[in-house]
Homo-oligomer: A and B are copies of this chain.
Amino acid sequence: MAVDWQLKSQLPALTERIVASYHNIGTINHLGHGQLPSTEAVVSIARDLQDIIFPGYRRRQNLHVGNVVYHIGDLIDGLHDRLTAQIARALRHEQHPELRIVDGDTADETRDFDAQAQEIAIRFLESIPGLRELLASDVHAAYEGDPAASGLDEIIFCYPGLEAVTIHRIAHKLFQLGVPFIPRILSEWSHMQTGIDIHPGATIGPSFFIDHGTGVVVGETCIIGSHVTLYQGVTLGAWTFPRDEHGNLIRKQKRHPTIEDNVAIYSSATVLGGDTVIGRNSRIGAGVSINRSVPPNTVVTNEKPSLRFREAG
């Protein structure tokens, strides 16, 4: 490649203009502050957790009763350290988003975050058998719900719905333990993989099945019972965003629906609003858009659609 060196000599001045913009446009930099959690580290933690929850399916395959305890013990040991480190970063950032690393004298406080993070990490790891029980119910629900499934292995191996629910159950547990930031990193990583966007705050019961899944949105304050099925494109969302007297959004308030046990919501249906309750055993048909409650044992469909047929010109 023939480079024009005179042209290239403009680069230092150009660099200075960019760096100057870090002062003028200051809200989207993260300079001189404590470290944020690392997306890469968080994703690698999630991959290890998937190996522990579904042993033998993914990266390490030759596992048997004789060696599995060593393999898992090794994974858990490493996870404990990496999880503690990332949670400590998240806690420090949450409490002191403006903390300057150049301050020097933050050692004491840092030690507190480390201790708190370690305790949370251990409480999280203790929840793994419970997570496995929930996820086993989800795998069975997928097999019961999808005639195209050839067996449980196929579901564990290939189903994006199970991938999304696995990551959600991990993220939700961290959310419950008060870990900031990391649950959202997990949920958006899962969203990028699967096209399924579940906020880590959503509460979801056992035997949950999402089929196909692309475009599904489950909002932060949803409460979902057991044996619920969602199809592609379903939105469980907010109807209005209440604001305070200063016009600021009120955050954390329940603004997404409650879905009771045994409900199925078909493709591209939209259920909106924090007071909306879909009663148990009900079915919401494809494309239905609803923002009020439905009693138990009800089938809701759109009126037979008025279609127009004409000859192709």
Contact = CB atoms under 8 A, between A and B. Distances in A.
Copies assembled: 3
B64 A32 contact: yes
Interface string A194-222: 11010101000000000010110101100
A144 B249 contact: yes
A65 B150 CA distance: 44
Contacts of A219: 148
A125 interface: yes
A40 B36 CA distance: 27
A28 B1 contact: no
B16 A69 contact: yes
B270 A294 contact: no
User: Which 8 A-B pairs rank lowest in CB-CB distance, beginning with the nearest?
Assistant: A30-B56, A32-B64, A303-B306, A21-B129, A158-B188, A15-B73, A147-B249, A297-B312
A297 to B, nearest CB: 5
A246 interface: no
Contact of A27 (B136, B187, B297, B307): B136
A111 B1 CA distance: 7
Given A30-B63, A153-B36, A184-B154, A267 B19 contact: no
A76 B9 CA distance: 12
Contacts of A22: 55, 68
A148 B251 contact: yes
B300 A312 contact: no
Centre residue among A8, A193, A214 by max chain B CB count within 10 A: A214
Given A56-B29, A73-B12, A310 B299 contact: yes
Interface string A266-304: 011010100000000111001111100010011111110
Interface string A1-42: 111100110111011111111101101111111011011000
A129 B29 CA distance: 13
Interface of A: 1-4, 7-8, 10-12, 14-22, 24-25, 27-33, 35-36, 38-39, 52-58, 61-65, 68-69, 72-73, 76-77, 80-81, 84-85, 88, 93, 97, 101-102, 111, 114-115, 118-119, 122, 125-126, 128-129, 132-133, 135-136, 139-140, 144, 146-154, 156-160, 180-181, 184-185, 187-188, 191-195, 197, 199, 201, 212, 214-215, 217, 219-220, 232-233, 235, 237-238, 241, 249-253, 255, 267-268, 270, 272, 281-283, 286-290, 294, 297-303, 305-313
User: Which of A7, A88, A148 has its CB near the most chain B CB atoms (within 10 A)?
Assistant: A148
